[in-house]
Structure 1
Amino acid sequence: MSASYIFGIVAALIVLAVVIESLRRHHLRERHAIWWLAAGIVALVIGVFPDVLGWAASLVGVTVPTNLVFFLSIAVLFLVSIQHSGELTELESETRTLAESVALQDLRIKELEKALADALESRRNP
């Protein structure tokens, strides 16, 4: 086994360890970790069984197995980007709703303060 395969195995194990530790410490949510865990597991399988990459490349008709790795990497990053874009849109909508609610609450508070001040003023000046 060459040094590049050992490097690949070690890198995949590090990725898996970082993702699992981030999950454990609640720095990363489960739905975000799925793609990174999948990528780490695939990298580990390819590092341990390098012939799998050649088999998968020939199965899908890719001449150079490394090109399949690049394509899958880009696909995973694209899916993560789509997932984050959807969540960002959802958070922006929620932020807008909360800002509107706060503005309405501020308006109500100002109206109540004005009504209270008017009521106190009318009691002082009968």
Structure 2
Amino acid sequence: MTAQITAALLGLALAGSILYLVRRDHLHGPYALWWLIVAAATLVLGFVPRTIDWLAHLTGIAYPPVLPIIIGLSLILLRLLQLDIERSRQERQIRRLNQKLAILEEELTTLRRAMTSRTESAPRSD
């Protein structure tokens, strides 16, 4: 019974922490949703511990305590994959922005040279 209460309290504390971080704008929507799902799963497993036994039987796992470890490791791997995809997208976006910035800087330099050459070659009315 103590493990159930501990798991339920951990789920509630995690959900509260996530909501606090979202409210303070330290954690954004899609990331918060992911963590709220983890908190809800922890809360459910705390209140209904037989869920693990049922899921283990359903999936054919003979030793039910291994199931949360397998699920946890799988979720960690999925999260890491998602982070790598997001980082790759951001790196591609940064590279494209750097290329656009270089093009704009070159155009600005060309325009400045054209302007200075026009002012230097223009006849003065003294």
Please say whether Structure 1 and Structure 2 have the same fold, judged by a TM-score greater than 0.5: yes
Task: Please list the CA deviations of residues 66-89 of structure 1 after superposition, one character each: whole Å capped at 9, or x if unmatched.
Answer: 210011111111121121111111
What stretches of structure 1 of length at least 5 have no aligned partner? none
Greater alpha carbon shift after TM alignment, 17-26 vs 107-116: 17-26
Q: Shift of the alpha carbon at 1:114?
A: 0.7
Q: Shift of the alpha carbon at 1:125?
A: 7.3
Task: Please say if residues 35 and 76 of structure 1, whose CA atoms lie closer than 8 Å, have aligned partners that are also in contact.
Answer: no
How big is the alpha-carbon RMSD for the aligned residues of Structure 1 and Structure 2?
Answer: 1.7
Q: Following the alignment from structure 1 to structure 2, what is the Cα–Cα distance between the partners of residues 20 and 63?
A: 37
Match of 1:12 in 2: 11
Match of 2:53 in 1: 54
* SS of alignment partner, residue 107 of structure 1: helix
Partner AA of 1:59 in structure 2: L
Match of 2:119 in 1: 120
Give the number of aligned pairs. Answer: 125
Task: Please list the CA deviations of residues 6-25 of structure 1 after superposition, one character each: whole Å capped at 9, or x if unmatched.
Answer: 11111111111112222222
Match of 1:106 in 2: 105
Q: Following the alignment from structure 1 to structure 2, what is the Cα–Cα distance between the partners of residues 125 and 114?
A: 19
What stretches of structure 2 of length at least 5 have no aligned partner? none
TM-score of the two chains, using structure 2 as the length reference: 0.90
Percent identity between matched residues is 26
TM-score of the two chains, using structure 1 as the length reference: 0.90
